[in-house]
Structure 1
């Protein structure tokens, strides 16, 4: 079995200085590739550094909605330059977050739309963050021709109706440890109904540790437990699902074996 953790944050301070050990632990559990995702200038730089330090690590860089208030012309220029790096495979994570009151909604909308345009300019896929903002996220994506570049709903936590809306836009769907929680029944049904060629798997570490490790600090190795939960929901062989999600993620990020 080989697994691709499509969205994780070894660039987070929680892993500082121990990245190699966490990647080795992941490798022992079959996690052979990871995408390190940024959210601001500092974390974007760290993601790129890690991607160049390790062969099977890739970087996704962009401005998270919580950091939208800090995205100005200077930051845009730096981001555009970072996105030309050979190890950068997508723009992200970008989107809307109405849970944390750190950036005004208008700033979030502007920065989200601006980064989608940058992705179109550079022909890169986008990784979408949406928290307590599903309707506005969908409305922006609906008018953005995202099927032309590729887009994934990171850590999707919606029901089947929302699943179908995003699938109709041509998007991929990535599931995190939330899909392993016992009470997220609507999400379990979404997992079952996600087409096999559109599903991806992630940890979002150090957040959202899956069962049976819920409440602990998450890490890329634990994507194995997310994968096993998805396989149970879909009544699939985990090896088959691992292969499908691995190939889907490589295709999405434009990574050739």
Structure 2
């Protein structure tokens, strides 16, 4: 693959990288990774994400609270997110959304803080990064109700249907695929990879989670995003460089980064 790749979602702040984080990051450019977006999942990880982005020119940050931790949210947290967003390396609010699979925070609380963080993204004219697990209907309804003319963002590690993807795209969102698209029995992600318009597609690892084949079961790393690109290329019957070029262009367009 000649083109370098962009990992649109990786948690390099995760404690599973504590032993070798610097080593992994320093190798990324040589391993064909051009940029990485590191989203926060709560206040502490958002601060870590910003710190990493400040230290490395090819890492960007997003700040926000994952639905699991929305029970800990308050207005002061929102004020800190607003302040962190003044840093030029913070290019999104996220990851935010709804998770009805684990219900680590009650659903009403999740919905309240999902709305509040969407409003923050709209206020700051930033894209937002969406986590959606088993909550498609409520999530889409809230996103639609809160949509403004500048609303845009990413459905990260997308797990829904092709039909639902089309509806999210109409709202101004990109569809990002991760390791599950490489799993042999993952029919729906492969259908999405086939059908989503190339100009609305992104790729990611969600490191250290969801490691793609052939490394499934091991810790995921940004360099493994190439396996996601290669599988999508196989499904669409194009070269991996076509997928790399398109997803890089899409990422820079969404986040208004210079080529």
- The TM-score bracket by the shorter chain reads over 0.9
Whole-Å separation in 2 of the counterparts to 1:49 and 1:156: 27
Structure 1 distance, partners of 2:221, 2:78, is 30
Q: Which residue of 2 aligns with 1:13?
A: 15
Give the Å deviation of 1:256: 1.4
The answer for unaligned runs of 5 or more in structure 2 is none
The residue number in structure 2 matching 1:174 is 176
Report the Cα distance in structure 1 between the residues aligned to 2:37 and 2:146, rounded to whole angstroms. 24
Give per-residue Cα distances to partners, 1:155-191, cap 9 Å, x unaligned.
0011212112212222100000011111111221111
Pairing 1:122–2:134 present: no
Q: 5 Å matches for 1:145-160?
A: 145=147, 148-160=150-162
CA–CA separation in structure 2 for the residues paired with 1:33 and 1:164: 27
Query: How many angstroms apart in 1 are the aligned matches of 2:52 and 2:207?
Result: 15
Which residue in 1 is equivalent to 2:135?
Answer: 133
Helix, strand or coil at the partner of 1:100: coil
Match of 1:33, SS? strand
C-alpha RMSD over aligned residues: 1.2
Task: Answer yes or no: is 1:204 the counterpart of 2:212.
Answer: no
SS at match of 2:8: strand
| Distance in 1, Cα, partners of 2:160 & 2:255 | 23
- Contact 1:26/1:222 (<8 A) preserved: no
The match for 1:232 is 234
Q: Does 1:34 align with 2:36?
A: yes
Confirm or deny: 8 A CA contact 2:212 2:224 kept in the other structure: yes
**Equivalent position to 2:68, from 46, 50, 66:** 66
2: CA distance between counterparts of 1:27 and 1:158?
A: 32
So what's the TM-score if we normalise by structure 1?
A: 0.97
Q: Please give the alpha-carbon distance, in whole angstroms, between the structure 1 residues aligned to 2:15 and 2:128.
A: 24
Give 1:86's aligned residue. 88
Residues 1:250 and 2:252 aligned together: yes
Runs of 5+ consecutive residues of structure 1 not aligned to the other structure: none
C-alpha contact 1:34 1:57 (8 A) present in aligned 2:
yes
Query: Contact 2:151–2:171 at 8 Å: present in 1 too?
Result: no
In the alignment, what sits opposite 1:213? 215
Task: Provide the C-alpha distance between the structure 2 equivalents of 1:177 and 1:30, rounded to a whole number of angstroms.
Answer: 18
Q: 1:147 to 1:94 in 2, by over 3 A?
A: farther
Runs of 4 or more off by more than 6 Å in structure 1? none
Partner of 2:28: helix, strand, or coil? Answer: helix
Distance in 2 of aligned mates of 1:239 and 1:147: 33
Q: Deviations over 1:98-153 (max 9, x none)?
A: 11121110110000000000111100000000011111111111122256231210
Contact 1:178 1:184 in 2 (8 A): yes
- Give the Cα separation in 1 of the matches to 2:19 and 2:87: 23
